[in-house]
Amino acid sequence: MSLSVDRRRFLRAAVAAPMIHFGRVRLFGAEYSTRAVDLVKTSTVIDMLSPFALASSRMTQLFMKPETFTAEDLANYRASGINACNVAIGLGGTNAFETTLQFVAGWDGFLAHHSETLKRIDSVADIDFAHKSGKIGVIVGLQNSEHFRTPADVDLFYSLGQRVSQLTYNARNMIGNGSTERRDEGLSDFGVAIVERMNRAGMAVDVSHCGDRTTLDAFEASKKPVLITHSNCRILVNGHPRCKTDEAIKKMAAQGGVMGITGVRMFVKADEPTTVENYLDHFDHVKKLVGPEFLGVGSDIDLYGYDAMPPKERAALHANYKSVYAFREKDDIEGINHPRRMFDVTEGLIRRGYTDAEIHGILGGNFRRVLGKIWG
């Protein structure tokens, strides 16, 4: 039986429960409109930031014992509607080159073990194949570029399968400044050389965690569109430094990039209550500012979210960030912190009056378009 047929039967079985009322169905234990279900099923759904596991212990387990990724895990990914995800994490420090090699090798081994159901994404054609075949596509990205010791390392990691690289994480590196660095400085000469080499290789430049000046400098230095894979609108979050200014969003769009909106609580609203409606406000703001064709989804969580992590690992994660991050009791937003969140995002966009074409673009079409321009 082909994977595409298997997936179609799974989805048909999921929607086979009795209708709640005209135009609505039970799907994966929740009620959705038939329009939302059809939009997700017919879209190429790309989450531009969604690791397989936020907990490092689980990710280590998957790499060391790939068989622990079970049939149930696979079913949850297929039920999510996500066709491809960028699994980038933040790696850095004095051994960044070695640890990133290990990360990429870990993914290669894991994907080889599950080659019948998972696929590494090297091109847009691979995204299309994953969608048609029912495989889950994995885009190997990094949320830091400290592993680039020289511009030649860009070519090395591209040859190993890396397709997206965020220039900096939150702190300063040799390339530029992160969003929570104490001084807002821009790209270094070395950083400009890295961006130029990434353009030449066909690796996407990501500025999600970069400081303001580094973000703007990247738009100026790059000859190809620059991505904001996972961030939000600063004007809606009382100036949170991890979110992007209207100036940056406008320059991103002018260059042809796409911005993925996250559901991380403190990036969505500065106080409580923080709800799905506040999350949708970020889509509306970008749409009004530059247009819906520059919008996407970058959830910044695995299928289950930060709040589902083992408490000790979540506490350790929080301890690695400055107080300006302003963590609260919960990191996730109820309603988009579960495997079927793309269906809930779609329902929300329908409520806000988005057209089918706009929603297709936001769910993945816009990122697919820009990745085609960058990757070639």
- The pLDDT tens digits for 345-361 are 999 999 999 999 999 99
**3 has a pLDDT exceeding 60:** no
**156 has a pLDDT exceeding 60:** yes
Residue 9 has phi, psi (to 5 degrees) of -65, -40
Q: What is the DSSP letter of 94?
A: T
**269 has a pLDDT exceeding 80:** yes
Mean pLDDT for the stretch of residues 127-155: 97
Could you tell me the CA-to-CA distances from 102 to 40, 85, 98, 157 in Å, in that order?
A: 34, 20, 6, 12
Sign of torsion over alpha carbons 244, 250, 255, 257: positive
Distance, in Å, from the CA atom of 376 to the CA atom of 363, rounded to the nearest integer, reads 21
Instruction: Give the start-to-end residue ranges of the domains of the chain.
Output: 44-375
Two tokens, residue 62 = 């998957």
**Angle at the Cα of 168 (from 276 to 49), degrees rounded to 5?**
35
**8 Å CB contact between 23 and 334:** no
- The model's confidence at residue 27, banded by pLDDT at 50, 70 and 90, is confident
**13 has a pLDDT exceeding 50:** no
The mean-pLDDT minimum among 27-36, 43-52, 264-273 falls in: 27-36
Distance, in Å, from the CA atom of 323 to the CA atom of 118, rounded to the nearest integer, reads 38
Q: What is the DSSP letter of 141?
A: E
Mean pLDDT for the stretch of residues 117-138: 97
Whole-structure pTM over 0.75, yes or no?
yes
**15 has a pLDDT exceeding 70:** no
Q: Provide the pLDDT for residue 357.
A: 98
Model confidence pLDDT, tens digit, residues 195-225: 999 999 999 999 999 999 999 999 999 999 9
Q: Provide the pLDDT for residue 6.
A: 44
Sign of torsion over alpha carbons 267, 273, 277, 278: negative
Among 296, 241, 248, 305, which residue's Cα sits nearest to residue 267?
A: 241
Among 282, 277, 281, which residue's Cα sits nearest to residue 232?
A: 282
- The model's confidence at residue 29, banded by pLDDT at 50, 70 and 90, is confident
Q: Provide the pLDDT for residue 331.
A: 98
**255 versus 27: which is more confidently predicted?**
255
Distance, in Å, from the CA atom of 102 to the CA atom of 116, rounded to the nearest integer, reads 23
**335 has a pLDDT exceeding 80:** yes
Residue for token pair 């790696």: 91
Q: Provide the pLDDT for residue 30.
A: 83
CATH superfamily entry for domain 44-375: Metal-dependent hydrolases (3.20.20.140)
Two tokens, residue 160 = 């190993």
**234 has a pLDDT exceeding 70:** yes
Q: Provide the pLDDT for residue 11.
A: 45
**8 has a pLDDT exceeding 50:** no
**20 has a pLDDT exceeding 80:** no
Question: Which residue(s) pair with 136 in the sheet?
Answer: 118
Model confidence pLDDT, tens digit, residues 66-106: 999 999 999 999 999 999 999 999 999 999 999 999 999 99
